[in-house]
Structure 1
Amino acid sequence: MKSVLIFSPLVLLLAACASGEESNVPGDAEDTEPYSEIAEDEVLNLIGTEPFWGAIIDGDQMNFSTLENPEGEMIAVTRFAGRGGLSFSGERDGGSVDVAVTPGECSDGMSDHTYPFTATVEIDGEQLQGCAWREGVDDIGPEADTAEEFA
C-alpha cells in the first residue's frame, strides 16, 4: 500500500509535465535552442554591492575582484548556454565557482544605471547578487564606469 501512495504523486507530477502545462523552465517552451543573446567572443562585465565585487569574463577566463583584492584574481571558467541565460563554472582553491547571467533589467542600487542582465556568483560558499553588461555593446552610461571601478 505504501508504494501506491508514493507512486501516485509521481505519476501526477509526470502527467502534468507531459500535458503541456506551463513550467518554471526559463525561455519559451517551444524554444530548445541554447541562449544566444551574448556571443562567445563578447566580454562580460559584472558588478555587485554589499559586499562590493566585480568580474570580467573574457573567453574562458574570469578576473574576480573585491575591495580587499582590487587587482583581482584569474579563474579559468567553462561557459554553458542554457535556455534562459549563460552559466560559467570553475574552481578556486579547490572550491567551486559558479556564475549565472540572465536577461532582465538590473540596478546596482548605487547609480542611475540600468543594466540589461542580472548576475549571480557563488564563490567560497557565498552567493553574490549583481548586474552584468556586454563590453562595447550595452550602453550603461558614462564610459568611465567599468567593472574594475566598482570593485
Structure 2
Amino acid sequence: MHLLKLASLSLGLPLLTACSLFSSTAENNPLLNTQRLQGTLNKNIDNSWTLITCDKKQLKLTAHNEYLENLNTLEANGSFVDIAGQLEGHSFTPVKVYRTQREGFACDDARFKRLILRAMGNEPAWIATIENNGFLLQRLGEPAQAVPYIEEQLPNGNINISATIDGQPLQLWLTEQHCNDSMADNQYHLTAELRIGQNIERGCAYFGLQHQ
C-alpha cells in the first residue's frame, strides 16, 4: 500500500466545507463513557496482552471477549491498535476495535485529532479523508482533490458520501463490517467502496477521533 506517498500530498491543501450527518443517539451508543486509545500491543509470557499507549502508559487488556480471542489469530504482537473501551486504573476492557495495523498511520499521525473518517484502497492506491472542513481524495499519480460533498446515513447503518470530481459522480459507501487489508496485514472496522463514474475501487476505512 502506498499510504505514505499519498499522505504527503495532503499537507497544506485547503479543504472545502460541507455538512456532516455522522451521528449516533445516546440510546444506542455502546461507546458512551468509554475512552479511545491508540498504541502498541505486546503479548506477555502468560499470554495476556499489554497496551503501551501513544503517551507511554502501560495498560493490561481484560475481559474474554471476541476481540481478545482474535488477537492470537491476527498475530497482533507488536501491532498498532486503535480501540475504545472502559479504563479502570491500569486495566482496559475493549468495547470497540477501530483498527489493528502492521503499517500505516499510527501514533505519529498529525491529522488524527481532527479526523472524522479515513478510507483507503490498493491497486491503484487511493485515500479519501474527511475532516471538519471537508473531503479530500488522493490517488496515486494524480493531484490531490478537495471537493464539496453530501453525507447520508441510511436506516441499515450504511453511510453514503457523494460528490462530483472531474465532472463525474463520486460515491463512497461505508459498511460497518470487518475489513482486512491483506497487502499491509491491517484490520479495520469498516469496508469501503469508492465509485467514480463507472469505475469501482474497494478498500477499508475507520472513523477518526472527531467522529460522533
Q: Same fold (TM over 0.5)?
A: yes
- Does residue 72 (structure 1) correspond to residue 157 (structure 2)? The answer is no
**2:90 is aligned with 1:90:** no
Q: Distance in 2 between matches of 1:137 and 1:111?
A: 25
Which of the two has greater strand per residue? 2
CA displacement at 1:72 relative to structure 2: 1.4
Residue 78 of structure 1 aligns with an amino acid whose one-letter code is: I
Structure 1 runs of 4+ aligned residues shifted over 4 Å read: none
CA gap 1:42/1:53 in 2 versus in 1, 3 angstroms: closer
Equivalent position amino acid for 2:145 in 1: E
| Superposition deviation, residue 88 in structure 1 | 0.7
Amino acid aligned to 1:106: C
Give the Cα–Cα distance (whole angstroms) in 2 for the partners of residues 60 and 116 of structure 1: 24
**Alignment match, 1:4:** none
Partner of 1:30 in structure 2? none
CA 1:103–1:135 in structure 2 vs 1: closer, same or farther (change >3 Å)?
same
Deviation at 1:42, TM superposition (A): 5.8
Instruction: Kindly indicate whether the alpha-carbon contact (under 8 Å) linking 1:63 and 1:72 is maintained by their aligned counterparts in 2.
Output: yes
Query: TM-score, with normalisation over the residues of structure 1?
Result: 0.59
**For 1:43, what is the secondary structure of its paired residue?**
strand
Partner Cα distance (2:204, 2:164) in 1: 22
Aligned counterpart, 1:115:
188
1:80–1:106 Cα change, 3 Å: same
Aligned-pair CA distance for 1:100: 0.6
Alignment of 1:31-70 (within 5 A): 36=24, 43-59=116-132, 61-69=134-142
Distance 1:91 1:61 in 2: 14
Distance of 1:119 and 1:135 partners within structure 2: 15
Aligned residues of 2:116 and 2:210 also touching (Cα < 8 A): no
Larger radius of gyration: 1
CA shift in 2, pair 1:137/1:76, >3 Å: closer
Distance 1:116 1:137 in 2: 16
Percent of counterpart pairs with the same letter?
A: 25
Contact 1:35 1:86 in 2 (8 A): no
Structure 1: distance between partners of 2:162 and 2:171: 5
CA–CA separation in structure 1 for the residues paired with 2:209 and 2:200: 27
Root mean square deviation, CA, Å: 2.6
**TM-score normalised according to structure 2 size:** 0.43
2:16 match: none
